[in-house]
Amino acid sequence: MKRTEIKTLLLNAEVGAKVNVKGWVRTKRGSKNVAFIALNDGSVIHNLQVVVNFESIDESALANVNTGASISVDGEVVASQGSGQKVELVAEKLEVLGAADPEKYPLQPKKHSLEFLREIAHLRFRSNTFGAITRVRHSMIFAVHKFFTDEGFFNIHTPIITGSDAEGAGEMFRVSVLDPLKLPMTEDGKIDYKKDFFGRETNLTVSGQLEVETACLAMGKVYTFGPTFRAENSNTSRHLAEFWMIEPEIAFADLDEDMELAERFIKYLIQYALDNCMDDLQFLSQRLIESEKDKKAEEKSMELIEKLRFVLNNSFEHVTYTEAIDILKNSNYNKKKKFQYPIEAWGTDLQSEHERYLVEKHFQKPVILTDYPMGIKAFYMKQNDDGKTVRAMDVLFPQIGEIIGGSQREDNYDKLVTRMKSQGIPETEMWWYLDTRRFGSVIHSGFGLGFERLMLFVTGMGNIRDVIPFPRTPQNAEF
Ligand code: 4AD
Ligand code: MG
């Protein structure tokens, strides 16, 4: 018999139909004459209840039906009397495909901590929480491509191995085939990268922006969606060493159009989740409520689905960096020294505590901060006429802090070269990037959305390690 997925069965199966299902056992409980198996096959958050009557199936067939075992069941769909679903399956034939020794199987049918699940990342797909996250993650990936396709953008595969440091922050992972114990040296005592695979120093990319800009200045509207790598030693719940970023780039568009695109894009993704992932969101909402049940009322998060709707129904607040510094400086938080990093002078970078204060306490909705001091932003950002600030924008979200970073790009060749010189970025290596400003340069803008930060927001999870299948963080690359 052809297999029916549990999602399809729960949606469409008619009482009386004969079907085959395959999946992994979540729980088994029973009495003298009958056993109940909760079966999950990953297609949907809900389990299918399989009823085994010992009159028709010998009890010995259940010997290896334990949590974690994979089984195949032929049976008849019947109306359910209380499994939480409309239908259940009365087994007529049951086969164990792969047993799971209950003494050794790490995932017991009880609540496991997220920390423990991280240690068994290869099995955590089988937990309700990670199953839900995996399905939502897929939907968000699809929605990203759908949004840009519908808007007439072209997807560009930018390189993962690169010779340039797009953000100029020097936080890159080297890519080399040289033997670290026998490094070839030049006459002046430096490592001779001419002998390396690419004949030059190469790294994993921190961003596809520079390459996607070159495509933008021919194709008009483009985006890249790829893995990016940062060797920053930030062991926080918001940072990964390997994360996925969506970077659109639009020609003939200034910062205002860039911000408009960013807001519309994020809202589209959230709406898509509400329209297509409601079962999983409801589960995740319940999970969040339970995980916060011991918190004081004022410390509890907004209910997940309400929070998603709230973002959809409010326009993002636009504030300049300079205005934000004034707000922060004059805040009670600052005066009462509640910030770990007190706000002192104009020109320093904001910490996530400051970003969250602006979003959660002051404006109480998403904020787009613009026009940052030149000194704390990347070389490619468009300089303002004041000679001090650049046309940068960061989108700040509750609980997350920065979810998007973007800017209008410096399209003036001379200004760009001066900026690169002052930041010590070698012009010779960036000749191809500079060419775009020498030949047919136009105003253009773009941004990067951190995909896992979006996932944190949409799922209500608190740690970025729990929204990517196999997290890479300092001192951790298991699996
Ligand atoms: O602000 P960032 O560094 O911007 C860029 O890389 C630009 N080249 C984007 C562009 O204009 N095309 O990073 C963009 C976003 C951040 O806002 C954040 O959401 C995410 O990427 N991000 C990280 N996410 C997880 N772990 C990290 N270590 C991250 N660093 C940045
Ligand atoms: Mg940034």
Which residues of the chain does CATH 3.30.930.10 include? 126-171+206-466
Give the closest residue (by CA) to ligand 1 atom 4: 405
Q: How far is the CA of 337 from the centre of ligand 2 (A)?
A: 26
Checking if the pLDDT of 428 tops 90, the result is no
Q: Mean per-residue pLDDT for 173-188? A: 96
**Confidence bin at 215 (pLDDT 50/70/90):** very high
pTM of the entire predicted model: 0.97
Task: Say which CATH architecture domain 6-109 belongs to.
Answer: Beta Barrel (2.40)
Instruction: Report pLDDT digits (tens) over 431-450.
Output: 999 999 999 999 999 999 99
Checking if the pLDDT of 160 tops 90, the result is yes
Which residues of the chain does CATH 2.40.50.140 include? 6-109
Checking if the pLDDT of 170 tops 80, the result is no
Q: Mean per-residue pLDDT for 156-169? A: 89
Q: How far is the CA of 405 from the centre of ligand 1 (A)?
A: 6
Q: What's the pLDDT at 245?
A: 98
Q: What's the pLDDT at 98?
A: 98
Checking if the pLDDT of 84 tops 90, the result is no
Instruction: Report pLDDT digits (tens) over 23-72.
Output: 999 999 988 899 999 999 999 999 999 999 999 999 999 999 999 999 99
Q: Which is the closest atom of ligand 1 to the Cα of 239?
A: 26
Checking if the pLDDT of 166 tops 80, the result is no
Give the closest residue (by CA) to ligand 1 atom 15: 450
Considering the chain, what is the average pLDDT of its residues?
Answer: 96
Q: Which is the closest atom of ligand 1 to the Cα of 464?
A: 25
Checking if the pLDDT of 280 tops 80, the result is yes
Give ligand 1 pocket residues (Cβ under 6 A).
166-167, 207, 209, 230, 239-240, 243, 245, 247, 402-407, 446-448, 450, 452-453
Higher pLDDT, 84 or 469: 469
Q: How far is the CA of 240 from the centre of ligand 2 (A)?
A: 14
Q: How far is the CA of 32 from the centre of ligand 1 (A)?
A: 58
Locate 238 and state its tokens: 């918001």
For the domain bounded by 126-171+206-466, which CATH number is listed?
3.30.930.10
**Confidence bin at 455 (pLDDT 50/70/90):** very high
Q: Which is the closest atom of ligand 1 to the Cα of 247?
A: 12
Q: What's the pLDDT at 164?
A: 84
Checking if the pLDDT of 376 tops 80, the result is yes
Q: Which is the closest atom of ligand 1 to the Cα of 404?
A: 17
Q: How far is the CA of 219 from the centre of ligand 2 (A)?
A: 25
